[in-house]
Amino acid sequence: MPLKRSPSPNSSASSSATKKFKTSHHLDFSHYINLNSKSYPFKHSTKAAIKWNNGSKKKPFEIFEDKYNEGKLNEDEKYLVHWFKNDLRIHDNTSLYHLVQDAQKINAKPIGIYIISLKFLESHLESALKVQFIQNTLKVLRESLSKLNIPLSIIYLDDSKDKYKLSSNSYDSFKDWLTALLNEKFQTNSIYYNVNYEYDELNRDISLLSSNLNIKAFHDQCIVKPMELTSGKGTQYSKFSPWFKKWDSYLNSSPIELLQIQHKFEKWDWSHLPNDDDYKLPPQFQVSSLKEVGVTDIGNFENLKGGEDEALEKLEKWISNSIKEYQSEKDYPSLSSTSRLSPYITQGSISPRLIVTKCQEANNNKRIGGNTGIETFIKEVAWRDFYRHVTVNWPYLMMFVPFNLGLIDLKWSDDYSRFEKWCLGETGFPIVDASMKCLLHTGYMNNRCRMVVSSFLSKDLAMDWRMGELWFYNHLIDADLSSNNGGWGFSSSTGLDAQPWFRIFNVYTQSEKFDPDGVFIKKWLPNLSKLENFHEPYNEKIDAKEIEKLTNGYPKPIIDRKQAREETLERYREAM
């Protein structure tokens, strides 16, 4: 098995490896292999990581906190703008709530805007399913806002080449473009928004602080604001368990407050406001692009419901019907044992505060104790806070640098055909392939399956975990940078609070335990439905030619697991 140290994505080693990589499906995998090097040069990120860790360089969140001064309410403003980001809801939306309150005070008209940045879509390899879900959600949000007589303008910005055009003018920065947009098109200088904690988005928010805009920014993504929970040494927790105890204690002393908008504004004519609803996204962000990986039924994705009402209905049904069995059933992919709220949480169609509040109510107002299913689910929601807190404190986690800097030199295979087969569900390991097929055809994967396939890629196949992280992000409808990164760091043993490096999931054991009857495997790999041993089709007890007939061409395992295990243990020992 050819192994190499993970190169800088800009290095010649990486470039030559990419040129050698050809796929039988004629798909372009180079942007996964190159690890998005244009956005985050690996060398720079590693140097920055050390400076952030030793305190010689301020973290973006700290810079924002230092620079931000809350704007003053200007009584002469006729319009106030709320910039929707991943907070696509009306109720319990911190920024929107305060804008409505201020608009009432000065009798101003509230306006909502949403900006589709082509630069961010491209640099982040956003999922076509996720982008479609956002568009569906925006339609619902627009209807809900209009009932309160608040318009929503959707602005498409082609900033892929760092040029920002508005009418006949061109601007050199997003800051200048946004200022001109608000002044000229919305006749205001006041903007409200909830702060993003992702690296690029946070730096964009920081750039706005040097503008002439009257900015009111709020912390809304997390139930508890990042940097609030520190250990006895005054540092960010790197382990979930002690962090969760502190998180729970914090909420005991500062109970969750839900901000509900009740006011409806007078009807007014907003026909003069700009909209760009005729935009057309590049092909890779349209669900039709999924045909390249064998997905033909894309109609379900195009019509997938989004929005706050749908999220609230799902939450209500989840709590009423299933949540109490969550702990015992969540790992079985054939069961409808999860809430399926994650896409709605990611886009902010429902707030984590509301979810935890409703779960507490169903658990005799307890977060810890009571029903184990409810407690476990509350912890899952808390994990989202935790992962955001740690990416804020260790920003390099969002730049393809592992938390464990000692594993920078971990060797990886350069046999990229393995990565292709993993992506498309053609490895010869049924639970892995079924999970990957499920991802491609639904945009979703059960969390147990996510752990199995990510461990398999990074440890059994010896492929760089960051490639898998990007593939997941580019195909998950609930793609969330912090949670996705945290999950891959856990499975590859390179992240914080990760599984021990010597722990390697046995895919056959996982399959037998969590899909004992093969319901999930046979659904996504129907060519294995005639086999008794669908967990491990090719074994020594049955004639290989007979198996090939029964499986209708299902591939043989692409690796020897026993050999791969020994090589993986050696790789980690050497790196550490």
Which tokens sit at 312?
A: 């609230």
CA distances from 219 to 191, 207, 312, 441, 444 (A): 15, 17, 22, 35, 28
438 and 363 in one domain? no
450 and 412 in one domain? yes
Kindly give the residue spans of alpha helices, DSSP state H, lying in 218-307.
240-253, 299-302
Residue 20's pLDDT is what?
A: 45
Residue 12's pLDDT is what?
A: 32
Indicate the SS3 state at residue 216: strand
Amino acid letter, 191: I
Annotated binding residue at 494? no
Average pLDDT over residues 166-194: 96
Residue 40's pLDDT is what?
A: 64
User: φ and ψ at 194, to 5 degrees?
Assistant: -90, 135
Indicate the SS3 state at residue 218: strand
- Give 13's pLDDT tier (boundaries 50, 70, 90): very low
Q: Does pLDDT of 346 surpass 60? A: yes
Annotated binding residue at 326? yes
29, part of any domain: no
Question: Rounded to an integer, what is the distance from CA 410 to the centroid of its chain?
Answer: 25
User: φ and ψ at 5, to 5 degrees?
Assistant: -75, 145
Annotated binding residue at 490? no
Residue 519's pLDDT is what?
A: 97
Question: Rounded to an integer, what is the distance from CA 140 to the centroid of its chain?
Answer: 21
Give ∠ CA 568-572-574 in degrees, rounded to 5. 115
Top mean pLDDT of 246-255, 405-414, 532-541 is at 246-255
Q: Does pLDDT of 381 surpass 70? A: yes
* Domain at 508, CATH number: 1.10.579.10
Count CB atoms within 10 A of the CB of residue 148. Answer: 15
CA distances from 107 to 73, 74, 189, 263, 420 (A): 12, 11, 16, 12, 58
Average pLDDT over residues 290-309: 85
Torsion 45-48-53-59 (CA) sign: negative
Amino acid letter, 240: F
Burial 204-218 (b: 16+ CB within 10 A, else e): bbbebbebebbbbbb
Q: Does pLDDT of 500 surpass 70? A: yes
Average pLDDT over residues 108-114: 98
Annotated binding residue at 409? no
190 and 155 in one domain? yes
Count CB atoms within 10 A of the CB of residue 78. Answer: 11
Percent of the chain whose predicted confidence (pLDDT) is above 70:
93
Tally of residues, the chain: 576
414 and 473 in one domain? yes
261, part of any domain: no
Q: Does pLDDT of 558 surpass 90? A: yes
190 and 154 in one domain? yes
Domain boundary among 205, 221, 237: 221
Annotated binding residue at 550? no
209, part of any domain: yes
33, part of any domain: no
493 and 390 in one domain? no
Which tokens sit at 260?
A: 């509900």
Domain boundary among 349, 366, 397: 397
Residue 25's pLDDT is what?
A: 56
Annotated binding residue at 385? yes
Indicate the SS3 state at residue 512: helix
Residue 1's pLDDT is what?
A: 41
Tell me what the pLDDT averaged over the chain comes to.
Answer: 91
384 and 415 in one domain? no
- Give 42's pLDDT tier (boundaries 50, 70, 90): low
* Domain at 339, CATH number: 1.25.40.80
| Residue 152: strand pairing partners | 112
326 and 207 in one domain? no
Annotated binding residue at 17? no
Average pLDDT over residues 291-309: 85
Q: Does pLDDT of 182 surpass 50? A: yes
Annotated binding residue at 142? no
Domain boundary among 206, 221, 236: 221
User: φ and ψ at 378, to 5 degrees?
Assistant: -60, -40
441 and 353 in one domain? no
Contacts of 113 (CB under 8 A, 6+ apart): 81, 82, 83, 84, 152, 153, 154, 155, 186
270, part of any domain: no
Give ∠ CA 320-326-329 in degrees, rounded to 5. 125
* Domain at 127, CATH number: 3.40.50.620
pLDDT tens digit sequence for 44-55: 688 889 999 999
Residue 544's pLDDT is what?
A: 67
pTM of the model: 0.93
Which tokens sit at 283?
A: 């092909």
Amino acid letter, 292: E
490, part of any domain: yes
Measure the CA–CA gap between 17 and 499, rounded to whole angstroms: 30
Q: What is the DSSP letter of 292?
A: G
272, part of any domain: no
Strand arrangement, sheet containing 152-157: 152-157, 109-117, 79-84, 190-194, 214-218
451 and 303 in one domain? no
Which tokens sit at 235?
A: 């540092």
315 and 188 in one domain? no
Q: Does pLDDT of 11 surpass 50? A: no
Average pLDDT over residues 6-34: 52
- Give 559's pLDDT tier (boundaries 50, 70, 90): very high
Annotated binding residue at 493? no
Q: Does pLDDT of 311 surpass 90? A: yes
Q: Does pLDDT of 15 surpass 90? A: no
- Give 293's pLDDT tier (boundaries 50, 70, 90): confident
Secondary structure of 474-508 as H, E, C letters: HHCCCCCHHHHHHHHHHHHCCCCCCCCCCCCCCHH
Question: Who wins on pLDDT, 373 or 31?
Answer: 373
Which tokens sit at 232?
A: 């006895």
390 and 412 in one domain? no
Residue 14's pLDDT is what?
A: 37
Annotated binding residue at 180? no
- Give 553's pLDDT tier (boundaries 50, 70, 90): confident
Average pLDDT over residues 439-456: 96
Count CB atoms within 10 A of the CB of residue 230. Answer: 13
Kindly give the residue spans of alpha helices, DSSP state H, lying in 394-475.
416-424, 430-442, 447-455, 465-475
Q: Does pLDDT of 260 surpass 80? A: yes
Which tokens sit at 169?
A: 């003018």
Environment class of residue 47 by beta-carbon count within 10 Å: exposed (0-12), middle (13-18) or buried (19+)? middle
Average pLDDT over residues 325-332: 96
Measure the CA–CA gap between 435 and 430, rounded to whole angstroms: 8
Annotated binding residue at 381? yes
Helix or strand run (H / E) with residue 50? helix 42-54
- Give 27's pLDDT tier (boundaries 50, 70, 90): confident
pLDDT tens digit sequence for 68-105: 999 999 999 999 999 999 999 999 999 999 999 999 99
Measure the CA–CA gap between 449 and 436, rounded to whole angstroms: 9
User: Domain total for the chain?
Assistant: 3
Interhelix angle for 430-442 vs 465-475, to 10°? 40
253, part of any domain: no
Annotated binding residue at 339? yes
Annotated binding residue at 243? no
pLDDT tens digit sequence for 391-410: 999 999 998 899 999 898 89
Measure the CA–CA gap between 131 and 477, rounded to whole angstroms: 8
- Give 32's pLDDT tier (boundaries 50, 70, 90): confident
- Give 542's pLDDT tier (boundaries 50, 70, 90): low
User: φ and ψ at 115, to 5 degrees?
Assistant: -110, 120
| Residue 190: strand pairing partners | 214
Measure the CA–CA gap between 493 and 465, rounded to whole angstroms: 10
Structural domain range at position 81: 62-221
Percent of the chain whose predicted confidence (pLDDT) is above 90:
80
Annotated binding residue at 478? yes
Contacts of 571 (CB under 8 A, 6+ apart): 3, 410, 411, 462
